[in-house]
Amino acid sequence: MRSWKIPAPVPRMSQHRYACLPSQACQGVLRVPKIKQIALIEPRQSGIHVFSGTALPRLGLPILATELDRMGIKARVFAEALSPIDWRYVRESQAVFLSSITPTVNRAYALAAEAKSQVPGIATVIGGPHVTFLPEEALGTGAIDYVFRGEADGAIAELISVLSGEAQIADCPGLSGIADGQTVHAPDRPPTRDLDSVPWPDMSLIAGWHRLRTMPMELSRGCPFDCDFCCVVRMFGRRCRRKSIEAALDQLERKAFAERSLGLKPKSVFIYDDNHTANREWAKRLWEAAIARDILPPSVFMQTRADVTEDLELMGILRRANCHQFFWGIESIDDATLASVGKHQTVMQVEAALRVARAHRVRVHGMFVLGFDGDTPETVQRTTQWALRHDLTTIQFLLLTPLPGTPVYARMIEADRITDTNWDHYDAHHIVFQPAATTRFRLQLAAMKGMGKFYSWPRIAAAANRYHWATAYLRAQGHRVLRAWLKAAENRAYLRSLRAAEPRELRTLVRA
């Protein structure tokens, strides 16, 4: 691994693109005496990314809205991926609950500021993985009154008590806010132990819910692994919690029921679990029972590790349960890199897994991370060749992104390797740090070229010639998104800026 230097001083994370508005800075705790209605907003990501066309909300806000609804508080979720925000509804509300991840947090802050400007006195609360790790940043914008850190299921009653002045911030574990000009952090809230206590999110509380073509479903939380670049373990814990088989079946049944009674026609179910088959016996019992009860969705997509294929009995059951697609984090085709990031997976294991998936006719979406310290443009080329050789259905080349809450983030900050502090760019489509063995432009270009090669017309046609219509369609989508990304004016300007910085970076690399 080479050492290197960043040419210019790197701005610190606190010099964030979203400007704080000192005049709005919250000096005291904001109390809203009677809360009757809350608008819950999940912002969209600015710019184009591979999921731009995917109308899928995260499940945090729908769960919280269901809990509010049960408490008799009117709640409506506006997930911008599904429908625009109804500002009239916001104006009639006493509080706004925002949920964001890192690439959507700038927009979340801007929407909070907009709500404050339209409704003076409205309370703004934000949660999700980004602000869980950087609560001060959110409170420092002046547009956010409270930050909820970690999981909030079961915390809603306490949160409402704080908002309405009946309790203090410190009384609500997980909450951060400003009181008497001082930031106050209540103690951490332990993760929800019993997932059965988390309600099945009432999808009809989401504006535009009828547009859901894929039904999201969360049946377990957490992951026993701890990859260097992933914040799941620090956000949701290493102890994997699962719904009981009965509760999970109940969700599948309700989905089937929603289809019939509400006229929803989702073509598939996307199991949101970080690692759905972490407990194989549970997964076997669940899907066998779902087959027996005949409550299977037409198509099931799930995030698992490639090691799911080691259990052929489970593979057979999943196949019979209409599992048509796995989402696998393959990450790297270099064993040393995989070991260094704590993936606990080898390339040989993934290759064997792909053979088993193919034999069971389950499609595989392979997600790769590019930009680890040994990675060069040649690594990207080899990765592309590997993905083509193993005929993955679809792929994602994600540029390593130091997301707050991950060990990789801490290391990059420590080494002053962060080159881009605009959170909008933390979507794994932009290179936001100085790679160790190449320039930012070369790595970015290699990733785009690799994706271009994978999503080329001959590859789309190859799938169509074999009558693999779904694969052909998915690849055509990949092709379309990539072209749109390359065409967007902001991305062209971004690529130009990387190219302009290249000679300087090269000189630094050569010296190193």
Q: Binding mask 102-131 vs ligand B12 (x if CB under 6 A, - otherwise)?
A: xxx--------------------xxxxxx-
| Least distance to ligand SF4, CB of residue 226, Å | 5
| Least distance to ligand SF4, CB of residue 407, Å | 11
Exactly one of 106, 141, 275, 438 binds ligand SF4 (CB under 6 A); which one?
275
List Cα–Cα distances, 294 to 173, 289, 297, 314, 360, in angstroms. Answer: 42, 8, 9, 18, 21
List Cα–Cα distances, 242 to 128, 338, 371, in angstroms. Answer: 20, 27, 33
Q: Does residue number 371 form part of the binding site for ligand B12 (CB under 6 A)?
A: no
| Least distance to ligand SF4, CB of residue 223, Å | 3
For ligand SF4, the closer of residues 305 and 440 by Cβ is 305
Q: Does residue number 54 form part of the binding site for ligand B12 (CB under 6 A)?
A: yes
Q: Does residue number 148 form part of the binding site for ligand B12 (CB under 6 A)?
A: yes
For ligand B12, the closer of residues 97 and 282 by Cβ is 97
Q: Tokens 């060749």: give the residue.
A: 385
Q: Tokens 């940043």: give the residue.
A: 137
| Least distance to ligand SF4, CB of residue 331, Å | 8
Which partner, ligand B12, ligand SF4, none, binds residue 129 by CB below 5 to 8 Å per kind? Answer: ligand B12
User: Cα–Cα distance between 505 and 463 in angstroms, integer?
Assistant: 41
| Least distance to ligand SF4, CB of residue 303, Å | 8
Tell me, what amino acid is at 198?
V
Nearest to 431 by CA among 366, 375, 484: 375
| Least distance to ligand B12, CB of residue 248, Å | 15
Across 137-150, b (16+ Cβ under 10 Å) vs e yields bbbbbbbbbbbbbb
For ligand SF4, the closer of residues 78 and 326 by Cβ is 326
Exactly one of 18, 78, 236, 494 binds ligand B12 (CB under 6 A); which one?
236
Stretch of 47-55, 330-338, 346-354, 438-446 contacting ligand B12, by CB under 6 A: 47-55
List Cα–Cα distances, 350 to 305, 308, 332, 335, 481, in angstroms. Answer: 9, 10, 10, 11, 27
| Least distance to ligand B12, CB of residue 292, Å | 28
| Least distance to ligand B12, CB of residue 60, Å | 2
List Cα–Cα distances, 34 to 73, 81, 123, 176, 401, in angstroms. Answer: 10, 30, 12, 21, 42
Nearest to 502 by CA among 428, 413, 414, 441: 441
For ligand SF4, the closer of residues 205 and 399 by Cβ is 399
For ligand SF4, the closer of residues 137 and 273 by Cβ is 273
Tell me, what amino acid is at 113?
A
| Least distance to ligand SF4, CB of residue 305, Å | 6
Exactly one of 80, 202, 274, 307 binds ligand SF4 (CB under 6 A); which one?
274
User: Cα–Cα distance between 486 and 296 in angstroms, integer?
Assistant: 39
Binders in 182-241 for ligand SF4, by CB under 6 A? 223, 225-227, 230, 232-233
Assigned token pair, 42 = 């999940």
Size of the site for ligand SF4 (CB under 6 A): 11
| Least distance to ligand SF4, CB of residue 239, Å | 12
Q: Does residue number 427 form part of the binding site for ligand B12 (CB under 6 A)?
A: yes
Q: CB-side exposure of 236: number of CA atoms within 13 Å? A: 22
Answer yes or no: are the C-beta atoms of 158 and 167 closer than 8 Å. yes
List Cα–Cα distances, 276 to 298, 302, 323, 358, in angstroms. Answer: 18, 7, 12, 19
Nearest to 125 by CA among 172, 58, 81: 172
Tell me, what amino acid is at 303?
Q
- With CB atoms as reference, the residue minimizing the distance to ligand B12 is 60
Residues in the chain: 512
| Least distance to ligand B12, CB of residue 505, Å | 24
Stretch of 230-238, 333-341, 356-364, 441-449 contacting ligand B12, by CB under 6 A: 230-238
Residues 6+ away with beta carbon under 8 Å from 119: 90, 91, 93
For ligand B12, the closer of residues 98 and 258 by Cβ is 98
Assigned token pair, 476 = 């055509």
Binders in 321-360 for ligand B12, by CB under 6 A? none
Exactly one of 48, 143, 217, 398 binds ligand B12 (CB under 6 A); which one?
398
Q: Is 455 exposed, middle or buried (0-12, 13-18, 19+ CB in 10 A)?
A: buried
Answer yes or no: are the C-beta atoms of 281 and 326 closer than 8 Å. no
CB atoms within 10 A of CB 71: 11
Binders in 244-303 for ligand B12, by CB under 6 A? 272, 274
The residues binding ligand B12 (CB under 6 A) are 45, 49, 51, 54, 56-61, 63-64, 81, 97, 99, 101-104, 125-130, 148, 151-153, 159, 218, 230-232, 236, 272, 274, 396, 398, 403-404, 427-428
The residues binding ligand SF4 (CB under 6 A) are 223, 225-227, 230, 232-233, 274-275, 305, 329
